[in-house]
Amino acid sequence: MTDLIEAAAALIRESRMTVCLSGAGISVPSGIPDFRSPGSGLWEKVDVLEVATIDGFTRDPSKFFKFMAPVAESLAAAKPNPAHIALADMEKRGLLRSVITQNIDTLHQQAGSATVYELHGNTRSGRCMNCLAVYSAQDMPDRAPDEVPYCRCGGVIKPDVVLFGESLPFEALARAQRDAAACDVMLVAGSSLTVAPASMLPQIAFQNGAQIIIVNLMETYMDHRAAVVLRQSVDTALPAIAAKL
């Protein structure tokens, strides 16, 4: 394992431009459950079509908010872990250009990362599905976490998270694709690479000549093309890599 850590560090050290793609696995050590792990993933407990699609939300938003209530508690209590901190440190040292994240928890920013592209949105804000009024998290109407928030106009306020069936934020996706195409090294941290279009970013990087480093406990479709694959928890592997730089 030490040899793989050193190999990953060497690739980053020699890289002109390194970017990171992070997934749910990077936030699990912070106490945020992931959605897809067999036996423990949150999707195994619910009907995804009812709670996590834009059609389901439009039909009955209460199911989404009831499902998200315990997740929201985890998000509120979570703090950046050593993996987030290692990436922020790498950016400060000029060794990491950007973090492209599939997460909505803002832990990268809390750790100090400045350039973060949130492909699946975030929980910092929401907007009315009727009049499109924008609400910050602080301005949301007082309610129990599992209750539907309503706008002054009577419309449902939807958090600015991307549900299945919705398009990804154009600017974040465009910048992520740009960095993926331009980088020399892409570090995949805690992503199963199963949700498109985020899952295709390592493929874009690889096709443009980048070396791929994957840190993930489970296999991904890119493992056979990666220069380094670390089957190790991100909160152990990333600080170890950063320490070698």
Residue 81, C-beta contacts closer than 8 angstroms, at least 6 positions apart: 26, 27, 29, 30, 107, 235
Which of the residues 84, 108, 120, 224 is marked catalytic? 120
Alpha helices, H only, 29-169? 48-51, 54-59, 61-77, 82-92, 107-111
Contact assessment for residue 184 and residue 211, using Cβ atoms and an 8 Å cutoff: yes
DSSP classification of residue 230: E
Whole-angstrom Cα distance, residue 22 to residue 4?
A: 19
Tell me which residue of 79, 114, 98, 70 sits closest to 189, measured CA to CA. Answer: 98
DSSP classification of residue 131: T
| Residue 84 is among the residues annotated as catalytic for this protein | no
Whole-angstrom Cα distance, residue 49 to residue 60?
A: 11
Enzyme catalytic residues: 120
